[in-house]
Structure formats: structure tokens, C-alpha cells
């Protein structure tokens, strides 16, 4: 943990630091500067304002010194307008699995304005405890007040692991929290596991331009923190009979934020392959723009969406919004039909949440077959045409 320190021997009582502090954490007493550690957000602005070198931020690396006092797995559950995002539920399910192996509990962090109604869905997904903090200042996804509440909770309860969804907000919030509690953060993980020997969280993510998967350990500092992309982990089946504890958390007095939200403009969400239950996906093996019509036709007959590999986007046979994978979208359909897709690690990084994979490929050694539940070795144009003809015949079309 870090702390703002004032060297009273050097402080001349000029008061410049007090006026520089946007959080109102500094004051004067007996002609010397004083800091309120509960209000200080460690932004560091006062360090620059002090001409006498009287202010410093000291890191005590408490997490490093005292690892055994950290326990349990926490998941930050982002919500929008009171609705918890699916990635929070996916992470709770994963946390539940990891907690069984680690012999610990799962807690969900639910912050916002009037969000208590969502707490039971987190317990149904696998949380034992929900820390619920409601405050008008938390009504919008603004990083500083959220980071403040989460940092205080970490300091008082000491979770061993803390997970965030790698949404735009999660990617912005998690590093702020990690910096405040002086720990590491592995961004954009595609898989999480527990090392059976050390009990450490194994945080796996693409590295070196996506050419290999790296597994990262946070050996010294606590909590071990990671963000995980939405859709790469399977969604849980809610168990409405589960019981758990909802712990109300009082928001700190006068939550500080340097950002003033003037207006929020909501755009209607476009249909995304990330939400599709059935996806027919094309790879370079579809061999030509004209054959994309077969992929579209099968997707339509099955009530699904069209996906593709990056190669198909690069060639110009489909738009980027259809791309699946590390630099595309992570998808979690019930059924994915991969047509002429080799199964590169970058593509596979986006389909970890798919429940059933059917692969059609002329090469029996294609890596996609390593993750397929049903393997069809053959020309995807022929197989697609046959499938479409069969479905149409069955439906009398």
C-alpha cells in the first residue's frame, strides 16, 4: 500500500499544497501541512506544488510482506443502468471453479446507484458474498469514485485474487486500483487457472503480437489482479437455490472525482455476434466472396449470425464487425460452425466460450479440429451446400 508522507521538519507552512489538492485531503494545523489518509487519492499533485521537498509518497509493499493474510477471490461486477454485464457472471463462474481448488470463497463487488436488486443474480451465478455499495456518485461509470471504494475494500478485507471484465470501463478502472494497492495486473486474459503446487493464479494471455500464449504469475504482491475479455469464458447456469450474504458497504464521505459528467448520450446497441447463440463462421478456405452467400444462407436458416476469421476481413470478404478472435470479438455461442478456418491461436482466443464447435476443413491436421466437437474433413463449399439443401428439404422450402 502507498501513503502520502509530510516531512514536518521541511514543511514551512506555506499552504501551497493545500490549495493544490483536488481531493481536499490536505489542511494546515499549527502552521504545518497535514494529510487525511482516508481522503487522499495519491494523485501526487501536491508533490509538485511543494518547493521544499516536504511531501513524498511512500510505498510499503504491504501486499508483498504479508501474502498469507490475503484470501478469497473477488469479482468486480460492472453494471449499466442496474443490469450486471454478462462478463461479471462469466467471471463469477470461473472464480467459483478456482475457489473450489483454492479452498476459499467467492465475493462479488456490486457498486452503483440503486443496484441492490441485482445482488441475488450474482449469488445465483456462484458468489458467496456480495459487497454492495450504493451511492449517487456511483451512478455513472467514473473511475475515481469506483477506484476509491474498491481500494478501501481491498485494504480492509484483503482478497487474494481480484478479477475485472476487460470492458472499456474495466480496462480503465483495474489499473487505477492496481496502482493504488501497489500490485500487478495482467490485462486481457483468455484463461485463468490455479497452479496446483503454488496456489498462484495462472493468468494466460496472448503475447508477442499474439504469436504465443504467455502465462503470468503475480508471485510477490497481492491481490493478484487480472482483466478477462467478455465472452471468452462460458456463462454460468444460474442456480436460484444458492444462498449467500449481501454485505452493505457505506460509501466514503464525499467521494471525489476530477471528472464532471455533463451529459450521457446513449446509442442503441447494434446486434453483435458476441451475443449470437449460433454462428456460422467463414475462413480463407471459403475461397471467394461469392461463397460467403452460402455462409449467410446457412446462418439465416439456423437463426444465427455470420462470423469470420481475420483473413476473411483482410481480404475484404466480410466487415470487421464479423471478425472473431484476439483482435476481433470473443464469442460464446451454443453452436459455432467453422468453415475453412485453420484455427490459429488468435482465432481460438475468441471462441473459448463456444459450447459446441463443428469444423469443416480439407486438412485433417488443421488445428481447429483440436477444439472441435464434430469434425468434417471436406470441402466447406460442398458441405455447406449439402447442409443448406438438407435443411431446406426438411422444411419443405
Ligand X SMILES: Cc1cc2nc3c(=O)[nH]c(=O)nc-3n(C[C@H](O)[C@H](O)[C@H](O)COP(=O)(O)OP(=O)(O)OC[C@H]3O[C@@H](n4cnc5c(N)ncnc54)[C@H](O)[C@@H]3O)c2cc1C
Binding site for ligand X (CB under 6 A): 209-210, 283-285, 287, 309-312, 323-328, 340-342, 344, 346-347, 350, 360-363, 366, 379-381
Cell numbers that stand for 382 in this block: 460442398
The distance of closest approach from Cβ of residue 184 to ligand X in the complex, given in angstroms and rounded to an integer, is 23
The C-alpha R_g of the chain, in whole angstroms, comes to 25
Please say which residue, 202 or 313, places its beta carbon nearer to ligand X: 313
Please say which residue, 127 or 166, places its beta carbon nearer to ligand X: 166
Q: For 193, how many CA atoms within 13 A lie in the half-sphere containing its CB?
A: 12
Instruction: Write a three-state SS string for 64-126.
Output: HHCHHHCCCEEEECCEECCEECHHHHHHHHHHHHHHHHHCCCEEEEEEECCCHHHHHHHHHHC
Residue 21 burial by CB count (10 A; 0-12/13-18/19+): exposed, middle or buried? buried
Contact criterion met (CB below 8 Å) for 162 and 177: yes
Please say which residue, 302 or 315, places its beta carbon nearer to ligand X: 315
Quick count: other Cβ atoms within 10 Å of Cβ 363?
A: 13
Cα gap 135→144, rounded to integer Å: 14
The distance of closest approach from Cβ of residue 169 to ligand X in the complex, given in angstroms and rounded to an integer, is 22
Quick count: other Cβ atoms within 10 Å of Cβ 360?
A: 27
The distance of closest approach from Cβ of residue 8 to ligand X in the complex, given in angstroms and rounded to an integer, is 53
φ/ψ of residue 79, rounded to 5: -130, 155
Contact criterion met (CB below 8 Å) for 223 and 70: yes
Please say which residue, 143 or 287, places its beta carbon nearer to ligand X: 287
The distance of closest approach from Cβ of residue 312 to ligand X in the complex, given in angstroms and rounded to an integer, is 6
Please say which residue, 285 or 333, places its beta carbon nearer to ligand X: 285
Angle 193-120-82 from CA coordinates, rounded to 5°:
95
Q: Is the peptide bond before 223 cis (omega within 30 degrees of 0)?
A: yes
The distance of closest approach from Cβ of residue 287 to ligand X in the complex, given in angstroms and rounded to an integer, is 5
Please say which residue, 167 or 183, places its beta carbon nearer to ligand X: 167
Please say which residue, 137 or 227, places its beta carbon nearer to ligand X: 227
The distance of closest approach from Cβ of residue 280 to ligand X in the complex, given in angstroms and rounded to an integer, is 13
The distance of closest approach from Cβ of residue 27 to ligand X in the complex, given in angstroms and rounded to an integer, is 51
- Cβ neighbors of 10 (< 8 A, separation 6 or more) are 52, 53, 54
The distance of closest approach from Cβ of residue 211 to ligand X in the complex, given in angstroms and rounded to an integer, is 6
The distance of closest approach from Cβ of residue 277 to ligand X in the complex, given in angstroms and rounded to an integer, is 21
The distance of closest approach from Cβ of residue 206 to ligand X in the complex, given in angstroms and rounded to an integer, is 7
φ/ψ of residue 32, rounded to 5: -130, 150
Please say which residue, 222 or 310, places its beta carbon nearer to ligand X: 310
Please say which residue, 21 or 359, places its beta carbon nearer to ligand X: 359
Please say which residue, 332 or 346, places its beta carbon nearer to ligand X: 346
Contact criterion met (CB below 8 Å) for 210 and 326: yes
157 vs 70, 107, 162, 222, CA distance in Å?
Answer: 8, 11, 12, 12
Amino acid at each position: 500500500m502507498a501513503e502520502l508522507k509530510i516531512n514536518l521538519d521541511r514543511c514551512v507552512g506555506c499552504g501551497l499544497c493545500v490549495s493544490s489538492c483536488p481531493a481536499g485531503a490536505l489542511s494546515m494545523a499549527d502552521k504545518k501541512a497535514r494529510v487525511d489518509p482516508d481522503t487522499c487519492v495519491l494523485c501526487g499533485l501536491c508533490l509538485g506544488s511543494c518547493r521544499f521537498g516536504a511531501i513524498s509518497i511512500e510505498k510499503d509493499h504491504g501486499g508483498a510482506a504479508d501474502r498469507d493474510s490475503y484470501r478469497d477471490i473477488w469479482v468486480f461486477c460492472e453494471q449499466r443502468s442496474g443490469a450486471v454485464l454478462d462478463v461479471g457472471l462469466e467471471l463469477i463462474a470461473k472464480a467459483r471453479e478456482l475457489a473450489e481448488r483454492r479452498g476459499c470463497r467467492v465475493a462479488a463487488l456490486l457498486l452503483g446507484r440503486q443496484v441492490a436488486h441485482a445482488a441475488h443474480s450474482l449469488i445465483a451465478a456462484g458468489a458467496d458474498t456480495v459487497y454492495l455499495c450504493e451511492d449517487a456518485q456511483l451512478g455513472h461509470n467514473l473511475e475515481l469514485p469506483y477506484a476509491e471504494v474498491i481500494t478501501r475494500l481491498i485494504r480492509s478485507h484483503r482478497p487474494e485474487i481480484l478479477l475485472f471484465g476487460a470492458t472499456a470501463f474495466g480496462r480503465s478502472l483495474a489499473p487505477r486500483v492496481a496502482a493504488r494497492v501497489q500490485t500487478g495486473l495482467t490485462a486481457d486474459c483468455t484463461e485463468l487457472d490455479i497452479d496446483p503446487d503454488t496456489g498462484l493464479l495462472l493468468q494466460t494471455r496472448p503475447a508477442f503480437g499474439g504469436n504465443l500464449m504467455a502465462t503470468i504469475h503475480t508471485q510477490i504482491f497481492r491481490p493478484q489482479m487480472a482483466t478477462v475479455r467478455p465472452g471468452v469464458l462460458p456463462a454460468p447456469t444460474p442456480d436460484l437455490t444458492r444462498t449467500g450474504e449481501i454485505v452493505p458497504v457505506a460509501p466514503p464521505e464525499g467521494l471525489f472525482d476530477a471528472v464532471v459528467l455533463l451529459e450521457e448520450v446513449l446509442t442503441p446497441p447494434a446486434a453483435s455476434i458476441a451475443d449470437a447463440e449460433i454462428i456460422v463462421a467463414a475462413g480463407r478456405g471459403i475461397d471467394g466472396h461469392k461463397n460467403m452467400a452460402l455462409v449467410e444462407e446457412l446462418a439465416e436458416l439456423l437463426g444465427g449470425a455470420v462470423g469470420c476469421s481475420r483473413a476473411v476481413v483482410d481480404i475484404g470478404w466480410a466487415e470487421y464487425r464479423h471478425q472473431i478472435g484476439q483482435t476481433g470479438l470473443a464469442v460464446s455461442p451454443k453452436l459455432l460452425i467453422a468453415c475453412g478456418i485453420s484455427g490459429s491461436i488468435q482465432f481460438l482466443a475468441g471462441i473459448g466460450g463456444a459450447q459446441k464447435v463443428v469444423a469443416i476443413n480439407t486438412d485433417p491436421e488443421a488445428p481447429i479440429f483440436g477444439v472441435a466437437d464434430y469434425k468434417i474433413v471436406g470441402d466447406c463449399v460442398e458441405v455447406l451446400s449439402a447442409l443448406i439443401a438438407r435443411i431446406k428439404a426438411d422444411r419443405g422450402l
